Amino acid sequence: MRTIIEPFRIKMTEEIRLVPREQREKALQEAHYNVFLLDAELCPIDLLTDSGTGAMSAKQWAALMLGDESYAGSKSWKKFENAVRTITGFKHILPTHQGRAAEGILAQTQIREGDVIPNNSHFDTTRANFEFVGATALDLVCDEGMQPGLDAPFKGNMDIDKLRTCIETHGRERIPFCMITVTNNTGGGQPISMQNIREVKAVLKEYGIPLVIDACRFAENAYFIREREHGYGDKSLLEIAQEMFSYADAATMSAKKDGLANIGGFLACHDDGWGEAFRNALIMREGFPTYGGLAGRDLEVIAVGLMEALEYDYQVYRHATITYLGKKFEERNIPFVKPVGGHALFIDAKEFLPHIPPLHYPGIGLVNALYVDGGIRGVELGSVMFGKKDDQGVEKPARLELVRLAFPRRVYTQSHFDYIVEVIDDVLLHRDQIPGYRITRQPQYLRHFTCHFEPMK
Ligand code: F0G
């Protein structure tokens, strides 16, 4: 059969409702034109994030009831540790309440002021955590990864020459570790090849620099390696993930993505010194090392979810849904990052709305139009999220102005996807009238979450 079906059926439903357009307009205005400030019940197609928004399986719900809430050494912890160790092989495994807690502990314990941390592309919380302790966070993604329209298999790869130059320029002693983010969320959810991970590791080994994997979407990355990289077609996703982690010295993880859980994460490593430092910080910030920032039932859910994310049929279905939307967009000449990412489709807002200059935030223009036209909540990954002020305080635009439609796992069906296409068709009709925006209020860090906007006349 040619039709790829969802490898599950639905046992429980959650009501969504499309409120009238005028109500959406009013809600957006009251939210200061920032969709992060909208009530979720007014967002029937909520594609703000794939983080913590997935549907749990019957096995996960069953596991939840087995949660052992003992403070120390619970049965649930053993299952969690066993699942994480089976996949990653790490010696020290520390549960955290989500990915950024792991990043915070890594930053607090391993980074000194003035350090430099290379990555293919830092996620915003990773960058913020590292910059908060005085480091410079550098993005060294390959050139292919910077061309949204280019269709290439591994656009998340790190540029090996840039990595070498970075180490030679800043000096090994200023680089406490290098990171690779799988998949490369901010660059379009693009995967990283095994060969690239191997090459990065080889360079780092020369200089004695540890490699840390930001593993949020490790299972999606393993799927892409199986489908696209020579020599992996007959391997299981678990085997591929194990090989990926075999090159790493440590990992940070948000179980809200490929842990198929609504909350959770971990920090893991081989080195005893790092393990000890992580544990001390964890106890202060998150909790005792056998529960971290989580309840026993969360540990149970994650132990099951990590393995379910590595099921091949699940990844085939997940990728098929996003590819389906990509094909419809392509038929309409809607510019988006090609190929579609593992967890999301990223529209190129700069090209979609050429009349809006980057510092008038075309991404916000498109996000708000999608919301008003159809109740779809996407997110800007552009100059609001990544724009920076230079030394004179002048704002510099981001490299790309993207709008991400991120897909919660196992949540929306094909008719929801068809509806998204209809809404886009509607937006296309009046795109020339979509306004740019100016920021009227912003905090010092991670401004995109809470800043206020005003449409430009
Ligand atoms: N690293 C990457 C690559 C991420 O995408 C995220 C979260 C984190 C780290 C932090 O994990 O949220 O559990 O603290 N990304 C979400 C997103 C929020 O919408 O892309 P967290």
**CB of 99 shorter than 6 A to ligand 1:** yes
Q: How confident is the model at residue 394 (pLDDT cuts 50, 70, 90)?
A: confident
- 48 neighbors 377 (Cβ within 8 angstroms): yes
- 288 neighbors 74 (Cβ within 8 angstroms): no
**CB of 190 shorter than 6 A to ligand 1:** no
- The residue whose CA has the least distance to atom 4 of ligand 1 is 123
The tokens for 190 are 């693009």
- How much is the pLDDT for 388? 77
- Over residues 81-105, mean pLDDT: 98
Ligand 1: centre distance to CA 256 (Å): 8
Give the global pTM.
Answer: 0.96
Residue 97 pLDDT > 90: yes
Atom of ligand 1 nearest to the CA of 256: 13
Atom of ligand 1 nearest to the CA of 254: 13
**CB of 125 shorter than 6 A to ligand 1:** yes
* Alpha-carbon span 30 to 16, nearest angstrom: 21
- Sorted by sequence, the CB contacts under 8 Å of residue 7 that are 6+ apart come out as 311, 313, 314, 316, 317
Q: How confident is the model at residue 39 (pLDDT cuts 50, 70, 90)?
A: very high
What are the pLDDT digits (tens) for 321-361?
Answer: 999 999 999 999 999 999 999 999 999 999 999 999 999 99
Give the residue, out of 256, 258, 345, 405, with the most ligand 1 atoms within 8 A of its beta carbon, to mutate for a pocket test.
Answer: 256
Residue 457 pLDDT > 80: no
What are the pLDDT digits (tens) for 245-292?
Answer: 999 999 999 999 999 999 999 999 999 999 999 999 999 999 999 999
Q: How confident is the model at residue 133 (pLDDT cuts 50, 70, 90)?
A: very high
Q: How confident is the model at residue 1 (pLDDT cuts 50, 70, 90)?
A: confident
Cα-based angle 310, 312, 315 (whole degrees, multiple of 5): 80
Residue 37, Cβ density class (10 Å: 0-12 exposed, 13-18 middle, ≥19 buried): middle
Bridge partners, residue 266, by sequence: 95, 253
- Sorted by sequence, the CB contacts under 8 Å of residue 305 that are 6+ apart come out as 56, 57, 60, 255, 258, 259, 260, 261
- 253 neighbors 266 (Cβ within 8 angstroms): yes
**CB of 98 shorter than 6 A to ligand 1:** yes
Ligand 1: centre distance to CA 286 (Å): 18
- 336 neighbors 345 (Cβ within 8 angstroms): yes
Closest CA to 191 of 234, 160, 227: 227
Other C-beta atoms within 10 Å of 149: how many?
A: 10
CB burial string 251-264: b at 16+ within 10 A, e below = bbbbbbbbbbbbbb
- How much is the pLDDT for 82? 98
What are the pLDDT digits (tens) for 159-203?
Answer: 999 999 999 999 999 999 999 999 999 889 999 999 999 999 999
Atom of ligand 1 nearest to the CA of 100: 14
The tokens for 13 are 């439903």
Write down the CATH number for the domain with range 21-50+311-455. Answer: 3.90.1150.10
Give the residue, out of 46, 47, 50, 123, with the most ligand 1 atoms within 8 A of its beta carbon, to mutate for a pocket test.
Answer: 123
- How much is the pLDDT for 399? 85
Residue 240 pLDDT > 90: yes
Q: Which residue has the tokens 């006349």?
A: 457
- 103 neighbors 124 (Cβ within 8 angstroms): no
Q: How confident is the model at residue 144 (pLDDT cuts 50, 70, 90)?
A: very high
CB burial string 423-454: b at 16+ within 10 A, e below = bbeebeeeeeebbbbebeeeeeeebbeebbbe
Q: Is the peptide bond before 358 cis (omega within 30 degrees of 0)?
A: no
- How much is the pLDDT for 397? 93
**CB of 404 shorter than 6 A to ligand 1:** no
Residue 446 pLDDT > 90: no
Ligand 1: centre distance to CA 104 (Å): 13
What are the pLDDT digits (tens) for 197-234?
Answer: 999 999 999 999 999 999 999 999 999 999 999 999 99
* Alpha-carbon span 354 to 335, nearest angstrom: 11
- Over residues 105-117, mean pLDDT: 98
Domain borders along the chain are 21-50+311-455, 58-308
Residue 41 pLDDT > 80: yes
**CB of 256 shorter than 6 A to ligand 1:** yes
Write down the CATH number for the domain with range 58-308. Answer: 3.40.640.10
- How much is the pLDDT for 165? 97
What are the pLDDT digits (tens) for 296-307?
Answer: 999 999 999 999
